[in-house]
Amino acid sequence: MFLAVARAGSFGRAAVELQLAQPSVSARMAALERKLGTRLFDRGPRGTVPTRAGERLGDYARRCLALLAETEAAVRAEGVERLVVAAPASIGMAVFPTVLAAMPGHVVDVVCQIEHSDEAVAALLDGSTHAAYVLRRVLPAGLDSVAVADSPVIAVAAPDNPVVDLAAPQPDDFATTPVIVHNWSEQAKEIVAMFAGPQRGPDHPIRLVGTPDIAVDLAASAGYVAVVPWYAAARALAEGRVRRLPLPDLGVVMPIRLVYRTEMAQRPAIQLLLEVNPELHDRLASATEPPDVSASATNLD
């Protein structure tokens, strides 16, 4: 519970994560502080943050959890290895089915969790997660990673949307078309600004959405142009529900990496994930270089 509060930066968010009432979380943390005789958290503009004593406790708590995880793996009945895999919701829909499909025939108990990339990295450090698929991050010591795929960010629209007939469209050509952009990072706001020309009126909004699948559905059924990673639109493209727009200025790729604790690299479960990488690459990256990804494409941090 202490690590959940430290990770969430809020008693309320930790309570939601743990499926407990907030007063219960607050009371238990107060009891822990009384037992240790020191304050563990400060509350301020940045939220609930650990004190220096709290940071020291966190280091020991993470080491204890890692040791417990190793102990559990060593004594689990019939040699079944437990594997907790995390990914953001935007990636999980593409990643988890492939991971689970690869596990039959192997003695691995897989648990899939939805977590933001930063949360997944924190969970790896505290030992509550064994592997994670994340957008590229600067990783702390103790974690290793391998590239899975670079998924280009593309624009799509329904086949009957008039914009699909434009031969060489520019962002200004969509001033009378609603646009929805997958909000993956600050760079999404730059794309919003690209479409927000002076000719755009309130009847044709630009929206941000956290889940790219929603953006694709709105493009297919509600007249929107959707700006999403390729993998999110792949099925709709294959089914003909949307078509790709040849916008020349979306030179952006979404880098996806598999991250795991260094000491777990040789575990059979991690090796299984590494074996799945080629199939995941095919699901997450387009088969051919897309027209809107040039040599000047930039990676998302």
What's the Cα-to-Cα distance from 96 to each of 85, 111, 145, rounded to whole Å? 9, 10, 18
How many residues appear in the chain?
301
Among 21, 50, 72, where does a domain finish? 72
**Domain count across the chain:** 2
Domain boundary among 47, 72, 97: 72
- Report pLDDT for 286: 67
| Model pLDDT for residues 170-185, shown as the tens digit of each residue | 888 888 899 999 987 7
**CA 150 from centroid of its chain's CA atoms:** 14
| pLDDT tens-place string over residues 225-268 | 999 999 889 889 999 999 999 886 677 888 899 999 888 888 88
- For residues 157 and 247, membership in a common domain is answered with yes
Q: Distance (Å, rounded) from C-alpha 6 to C-alpha 165?
A: 52
Q: What's the CATH code of the domain at 61?
A: 1.10.10.10
Full domain range(s) for residue 155? 150-253
**pTM over cut 0.85:** no
2 dihedral zone (left: phi>0; alpha: psi -120 to 50; beta): alpha
CATH number for the domain that contains residue 192: 3.40.190.10
